[in-house]
Structures are given as C-alpha cells and as structure tokens.
Amino acid sequence: MYTTSWCGYCVRAKTLLQSRGIGYEEIPLDDDDPSFRQKLHDLTGGWTVPQVVVDGVPIGGYTELWRLDREGRLAA
C-alpha cells in the first residue's frame, strides 16, 4: 500500500486491514519528492493515496478496499 503520513484515508485503510488480520506492506511516499504523484501514477494508475496493490494488481484506494470488505471479498 502506497501511503503518506498526512493522509487520513491511508490511516483508515491500514486500520481496516489490521482489524481483519490482513498483513500488508506499507510504502511511504513522504520523502519530500515533488514528483511522488507521477511515480504513484506510473506504478498504480492512480494519483491519490492510499493506492492499494494486491498480488501486483492495483485495486484503487480506501473506497475500493472498503467495498471489497463490505462485499465479503477482502479476505479472499
């Protein structure tokens, strides 16, 4: 999961995964690199954080993660 320290939705995504007992790797993008959004887009196709990648496939951000959980597909 690509995150920044100042992102509230990043905190929510991490909390959701932790509450379900699902491990994740956090890749912080807080290195004061002004081009971090371009890097993020190149890696995931998204401009905002968090960007969640599952098995190499970008699934989107917090909202998409929440939907998977709500539909019972997150654990899968």
Domain boundaries, the chain: 2-70
Token reading at 23: 């491990």
* Residue-wise pLDDT tens digits, 12-53: 999 999 999 999 999 998 777 778 888 889 989 998 999 999
Q: What is the pTM of this model?
A: 0.87
CATH 3.40.30.10 fits 2-70, yes or no: yes
Q: 4, 29 in Cβ contact below 8 A?
A: yes
